[in-house]
Structure 1
Amino acid sequence: MPETTLDLREIPPPERHPMIHSAFDALESGETLQIVNDHEPKPLFYEMQAEVDAFDAANYQCRQEEPQKYVADLPKR
């Protein structure tokens, strides 16, 4: 179960990635950041995979729960 959840749907797009990175950095190893977004966060996945060594890309999960609701789990090694 995720330790931290961010609902980004009401956050202006330019503020989302810095908020995600800050919350992810605050996690301990083995914890997961869950984000709720209005679109599939594929660009974020690729950004995290390329730039964040602690991101566990192999265990990343994303699911669409509603037309404008995507839930992604970003685990930290």
Structure 2
Amino acid sequence: MYIHLGGEKNIRSSELVAIFDISIEKSSKISKKFVSHARQEKTIVNIGEEEAKSIVVTKDKVFYSPISSATLKKRVNIFYANA
């Protein structure tokens, strides 16, 4: 099953590690370090031109999604409820 992250980007549900609200990037030292490391490794992907509302972590990449974390979490829950 795939999860739509916005724009033209879909990921396999099996690759999903975590979904965070974008505000965590500024409020947590650990998340700041994580994002900084992802930038150094060039594993960050910005989806679309809109302002990011959530951070989606997969096994290989970190996506900045224009879709809210609440909406993305609902999509994941729908997937697992139907599985």
Same fold, judged at TM 0.5 (above): no
TM-score normalized by the length of structure 2: 0.28
Higher helix share: 2
